[in-house]
Chains A and B, each alone.
Chain A
Amino acid sequence: MNRETIPDIALSGVEKRFETRERTVVALERTDLRIRGGELIALVGPSGCGKTTMLRMIGGLLTPSSGEIRIGERNLWRGAERDSSALRELGVVFQDANLFPWFSIEDNVALPLRLRGMPKAERRAKARELCELVGIGGFEKAWPRHLSGGMRQRAAIARALSYEPHILLMDEPFGALDAITRDQMNLELQRIWLAQRCTIVFVTHSIAEAVFLGDRVILLSPRPGRIDMELEVPFERPRRTALQAVPEFQGLVQRLRDRLEAIIT
């Protein structure tokens, strides 16, 4: 995939309100944001800051109350209707792997291809290739319940990549994993991203994870959810775990942490 052909994502005046009987909750205030094609952007913030809301609107899962989301030239939402050709550009990885327990790993990975009508032999071969890419080669025939949490999440990433979307949306994908597996998955994700050349929008509540992964970190603040701060992360790729001990890295983390503390109190 060529980075130049990857469409930008543009949010303009995007807002999400939830109306309850007593009051209106603003989950995300009018927001403008441009995500460049091929960028790895990290959205970070405390719970209730609207980061998942934003991701779900970009992913076509949640209708914006107002505003416009553009994937390249295409308008994703026309009212409550989604533009399915814009949806084709998107892959989503959730906090839970959300693999279907009745399919083997291989069939889970190939599910999007099956829905698109690819012949069985062809999608099998593709699934094998993808399992290899995400590091679960040899487990194609296993049931999801026989895999560890980290491996299931790898399979979910493979599934999201199977139809070669230009944009990968990840909603706290490693939030349920232990710290060691999580560090490892961050390295793996970077490797996959460098190999695949796609845009990644990565939602996390871990500041260190956001700084480690992101080209750019967006800090959101809660009640009402809005963008509070943007930070370019200059470190070159591939980044290694040792980077986290470097003073510049810790300086960026500290800046975000101080800001976060100021928001919450």
Chain B
Amino acid sequence: MKKRFDITWITTPLIILLFVLGWHVYVVWSGVSKFIIPPPLAVWDALVDLLTTPSTLRHAWITLYETLVGFFFACLIGVGLGTLLGKALWLERALNPFIVATQVVPKVALVPLFILWFGFGTESKIVVATVLAFFPILTNTVLGIKSVDAGHRDVMTVLNAGRWQRFVALELPSSMPAVLAGMEVGVVLAIIGAVVGEYLGGSTGLGHLAVASLNDYKVGMMFAVIILLTVMGFLLYAIVGGLKKLLIPWHESVAGAQPERTPASR
């Protein structure tokens, strides 16, 4: 089967190129201070500088570490608590106001408090990442468990399946698409959590590097750090997206994207 050419291989670089070109033209023609918007070439130089500095890797690794550990705990809490709440609806009703409260409270305002409690090290950033990321995972897990098809439940009832069997063969796989959709949002929020934590306290990580660059009037460097963060975010998002292919190959969101034909009628 011939694979159809993916148009994004052309459009994505083209759009980036146009954007950079527009940026450059604007900086040159408007005469804006390079401390406010540095020209693309200056950012490029800063990026090369950044990537050749040995300590960058350490900063990037710390941010990645905080993000991943925070995301891991968010998944643990989100899926665990979500499964529980999805199955015990009275518990969901009882706890829902408090779970929503953890979300509507301005978490960024609490970050200094987290730093006070958990210190200037990675722990406080992991906590921020977890707190930010668990919510979409939780709500999606609850939704997934609650939307298990009634007909599928009937099948398991007739087969006299036990609780654990029901969970493994029905509820878990059935809610997996929703859980993964929550994780896609969650992993992005985990990065934001880690970076905001680094902004506000501590001396390591890409978030700290961005703030430090700005304080040194190295605006180009700050842009370069942001580009690096964007790439990191993209990679993590892509990895979670790739998990879908691995975990739910049967689902429309995965299989529907490929023009696939097997004999369907007989």
Contact = CB atoms under 8 A, between A and B. Distances in A.
A180 to B, nearest CB: 11
Interface stretch (A89-97, A188-196, A246-254): A89-97
B264 A147 contact: yes
Contact of B265 (A88, A101, A148): A148
B157 A98 contact: no
Contact of A92 (B152, B154, B266): B154
A98 B149 contact: yes
Interface stretch (B32-40, B102-110, B166-174, B221-229): B166-174
Contacts, number: 66
B158 A92 contact: yes
Contact of B250 (A59, A101, A148): A101
Nearest to A91: B158
Contacts of A100: 152, 155, 169-170, 173-174
B160 A84 contact: yes
A231 interface: no
B265 A142 contact: no
Interface residues of B, number: 26
B151 A98 contact: yes
Contacts of B263: 146
30 contacts: A59-B158, A60-B157, A61-B157, A84-B160, A87-B158, A88-B160, A90-B158, A92-B154, A92-B158, A94-B154, A94-B155, A96-B151, A98-B149, A100-B155, A101-B251, A102-B173, A102-B174, A102-B176, A102-B250, A102-B251, A111-B155, A111-B159, A114-B169, A115-B159, A142-B262, A145-B250, A145-B255, A148-B264, A148-B265, A148-B266
Given A100-B174, A148-B266, 8 more contacts: A60-B157, A61-B157, A92-B158, A102-B174, A102-B248, A111-B155, A146-B262, A146-B264
Interface of B: 149, 151-152, 154-155, 157-161, 165, 169-170, 173-174, 176, 248, 250-252, 255, 262-266
Q: Kindly list the 6 A-B residue pairs having the minimum CB-CB distance in the complex, ordered from nearest.
A: A102-B173, A98-B151, A148-B265, A92-B158, A146-B262, A102-B250
